[in-house]
Homo-oligomer: A and B are copies of this chain.
Amino acid sequence: MIIILSPEATENDLQELIGNLKERGYGVHVSKGVEKTIVGAIGAPDEDKAVIAEQIESFRYVERVVPILKPYKLVGREFHPDKTVINAGGVEIGGSKVVVMAGPCCVESEQQTLETAAAVKSAGATILRGGAFKPSTSPYSFQGLGEDGLKILAKAREATGLPFITEVMDARDVELIARYSDILQIGTRNMANFPLLREVGETRKPVMLKRGMSSTIEEWLQAAEYIAGRGNYSIMLCERGIRTFETFTRNTFDISAIPAVGMLSHLPIVADPSHGTGKWQLVSAVSRAAIAAGADALIVEVHPHPEKALKDGAQSLRPDKFQQLMNEVGSVAAAVGRSV
């Protein structure tokens, strides 16, 4: 931790600060410049650094505190240079093959789900996606079929051989959903729902952690650290767009987050171009871009009849458009030395 003193700090203030830091077990280095004095505090590794930084910042003669260490050790790349590969129902994520997860936003009926599962499988997807418990901004919107939806997804898995991913919104549902599902999805609104993170951390199911719509990359990695801290290391991160001032798209897909996560963490990275754009017309282009930038997987909303979808109709692809996306993505994957 580096501490920058205010110009009005006196010699007494400096001595008080040094005493305080030494009491906490820090080694202290002082550098006096022409205009500013800076104090480096090193060591004391077992205490809570964020808290201490805030305490020091409350000193009246302290201008600013700059932390030095990254606040995520388990999911960070510094101490775990090798990329993690996750096995989800027999499909590997994070290896050389690019994985495509596809399916409807919501499970609406058995027929719709089976029809979509067959279509995405035939186009080349290897994991089925579908929501049974749905978050919805409006209390008056469709909230999902619940356990009946899970049963339909399990049927679709039986029929097609595709493992499936589905969202868990409530810590109380983790056990139930983990019984059915191959991957647990944490949605963007729950990235900082810490009780839920701890609960999925207690399972040994793979987890896909979506980035909070206003979370920095660092906060996202700290959320993954919550899960890893409970012993579950099978975590993939999913970039799904962040909230900005632009309104033409539903979110702004942060393409740089893909190589940035690759720099900072050993976890696989998934791209969600459907929520990332909110417009079916842009989904293929952003899918190609994500693979070109190094994403390990895609998760794409596909619906046989978007005009009747109970949610996200405007961003869902029809099966024929999805087939075209798969072809395009295959070419781009080959160009970056991978396959689909």
Contacts and interface: CB of A to CB of B under 8 A. Distances in A.
A336 to B, nearest CB: 7
Contacts of A171: 170-172
Interface stretch (A40-48, A109-117, A176-184): A40-48
Contact of A42 (B31, B219, B328): B31
Contact of A293 (B136, B189, B289, B314): B289
Contact of A289 (B20, B289, B312): B289
A225 interface: yes
A69 B33 CA distance: 10
Interface in A205-227: 213-214, 216-219, 222, 225-226
Nearest to A316: B58
Given A214-B245, A216-B246, A244-B245, A141 B51 contact: yes
A48 to B, nearest CB: 5
Contacts of A36: 68-69
A71 B138 contact: yes
Contacts of A175: none
Interface in A74-119: 78
B214 A195 contact: no
Nearest to A303: B58
B192 A135 contact: yes
A285 B43 CA distance: 36
A263 to B, nearest CB: 6
Contacts of A135: 192, 194
A281 B263 contact: yes
A39 B218 CA distance: 23
B259 A285 contact: yes
B332 A292 contact: yes
Interface string A281-306: 11001101111111000000000001
A140 B192 contact: no
Interface stretch (A124-132, A155-163, A247-255): A247-255
Given A2-B2, A58-B307, 15 more contacts: A29-B31, A33-B42, A36-B68, A50-B141, A51-B310, A55-B308, A57-B313, A139-B225, A169-B194, A244-B244, A249-B260, A253-B255, A288-B292, A289-B289, A292-B292
* Those 3 A-B pairs whose CB atoms lie nearest each other, nearest first: A214-B214, A58-B306, A292-B292
